[in-house]
A = this chain, B = another copy of it.
Amino acid sequence: MPQRTLEQLETPALLLDPQRMDRNIERMRSRLNALGVSFRPHVKTNKSIDVTRRILPAQGPITVSTLLEADYFAKHGFRDILYAVCIAPNKLAHVAALQEQGVQLSIILDSMETARVLTEAQARGRRFDALIEIDSDGHRSGVKPDAPELVEIAKFLERGGIPVRGVLTHAGSSYECTSVEAIRAMAEQERAAVVHAAARLRAAGMACPVVSVGSTPTAMFAQHLEGVTEVRTGVFVFFDLVMAGLNVCSVDDIALSVLGTVIGHRPDKGWTLLDAGWMAMSRDRGTASQPVDQGYGLVCDLAGRPIQDLILVGANQEHGIVGHRSGKPDNTPHLPVGTQVRILPNHACSTAAQYDHYQVVGPDHEVSATWPRFNGW
């Protein structure tokens, strides 16, 4: 089949710029080398063996957010997998099935209640190893690093025959920081919390070999990661407008975009209508709370350069409404029906999840490959 170009694609389509992606990967890898920590990339953003093989040429350790991700990457030879969402009892049979395939699947928990569920299952012949989730910023789950339960849970697990591999945390609040200084402080807070938790477990006689942190903003701005053994980042591979709004990357680093086509105009309102709506972009409005609200995405030309200040000011299921950031109708240039644009997404994880494949685009707009991805559980 002759190679297609962007212009020949039916729209909407999910485009991946492999040069930008490789640059992003290299940047994260050299950051983590400099920080002296190992890398356990989170594959929830990409859900693709082709992308993950670029991050990890060998079949290294990965982090997953669903057991379907674990299934898929296990099928592709990955053996060291951390499932980084507190385990639900109805997933233990699935965990066991993965272990039977030879996967070393670590699970996590943050409560005595779940510790009991695990030790009971262990008593019935299951074999788990677990990490305890630490709450470093109050944004979601985890045990506080100085809470008495931390040591109690760990001791209870070990008494029940479940080795505690370590502690992990995710400073999700870093996504809401308003300055690089704030991210830097959050990185230190994340590090200190989990290192303190590990120290308490060691003081109580446990080895606690793994001390794991992970968020793209904190990894990019941490000044040091003393005491941390591994970092789990995911969105860095593509970056997105939320990350650009945090100054974690520039708009030019964003490797993911949605190809859409102009289907009409409303000159009285300064609107250009596209065939890419929220189904193509996702409903994610992650930049709404940032200083620069990018609507449902930033509109670029086929070369990936932003077109003036055009954003998706609105989105219906299959319609995107392009307008000028100023809201002034006269500021919208006329893009004829049929014009293709590339829209940079607010959030790579949610936009990519609307597609089952990436169109990999080369420097001359050629579609050099189609990489499958998956969704669901």
Flag whether A279 is at the interface (Cβ < 8 A): yes
- Pick the contact of A10: B85, B94, B266, B269 (CB < 8 A): B94
Is A179 engaged at the interface, CB distance under 8 Å to the other chain? Answer: no
Which residue of B has the minimal Cβ distance to A288? B285
Given the complex of chains A and B, what is the CA–CA distance between A94 and B9 in angstroms?
Answer: 11
CB of A261 within 8 Å of the partner chain: yes
**Contact at A85–B263, with CB atoms within 8 Å?**
yes
Q: Give min CB distance, A202 to chain B, whole Å.
A: 24
Q: Name A239-294 residues within 8 Å CB distance of B.
A: 261-266, 269, 273, 275, 278-280, 282-285
* Closest residue of B by beta carbon distance from A110: B264
Q: Do A89 and B265 have beta carbons less than 8 Å apart?
A: no
Residues of B near A279 (CB, < 8 A) are 65, 350, 353, 375
Chain B residues with Cβ below 8 Å from A340 are 90
> Is there a chain B Cβ closer than 8 Å to A321's Cβ?
yes
A111: CB under 8 A from chain B? yes
User: In the assembly, what is the distance between CA of A318 and CA of B83, in Å?
Assistant: 11
**A369 at the binding interface (Cβ < 8 Å):** no
Q: A133: shortest Cβ distance to chain B, in Å? A: 8
CB pair A318 B65 closer than 8 Å: yes
CB-CB under 8 A from A12, the residues of chain B are 377
Enumerate chain B residues within 8 angstroms of A316, measured Cβ to Cβ. Answer: 140, 172
A283 touching B350 in the complex, CB below 8 Å, given contacts A140-B319, A356-B375: yes
Residue on B with the closest CB to A284? B283
Question: CA–CA, A284 to B282, complex, Å?
Answer: 9
Query: Distance in Å from the Cβ of A3 to the closest Cβ of chain B?
Result: 17
Contact B10 A377 (CB under 8 A): yes
A residues 38-68 near B (Cβ < 8 Å) are 44, 65-67
A336 on interface, CB distance cutoff 8 Å: yes
Q: Is A300 an interface residue (CB 8 A)?
A: no
Q: Which residue of chain B has its CB nearest to the CB of A86? A: B263
Q: Specify which of B117, B140, B172 is in contact with A338 (CB 8 Å cutoff).
A: B117
Q: Are B44 and A317 in contact (CB under 8 A)?
A: yes
A12 to B65, CA, bound (A): 12
> How long is the Cα–Cα vector from A338 to B280 in the complex, in angstroms?
34
B355 and A317: CB pair below 8 A? no
A1-18 residues at the B interface, CB under 8 angstroms: 8-13
CB closest residue in chain B, given A319: B140
Asked whether A124 is an interface residue with its Cβ less than 8 Å from the other chain, the reply is no
Given contacts A11-B88, A284-B283, A355-B376, contact A66 B318 (CB under 8 A): yes
Instruction: Digitize A345-358: 1 where CB-to-B-CB distance is under 8 Å, 0 elsewhere.
Output: 00001100111100
> Beyond the given A87-B263, A89-B261, could you list 10 further A-B residue pairs with CB under 8 A, ordered by the A residue number?
A10-B67, A10-B91, A11-B90, A89-B338, A90-B338, A111-B264, A282-B283, A283-B284, A354-B375, A356-B376
19 CB < 8 A contacts A-B: A8-B90, A10-B94, A11-B377, A12-B377, A65-B317, A85-B319, A88-B337, A89-B261, A89-B337, A111-B264, A111-B337, A117-B338, A141-B319, A172-B316, A278-B350, A279-B375, A282-B283, A283-B285, A375-B375
Q: Which 10 A-B pairs have the closest CB atoms?
A: A283-B283, A88-B261, A89-B338, A86-B263, A113-B337, A65-B318, A283-B284, A88-B275, A86-B264, A85-B318
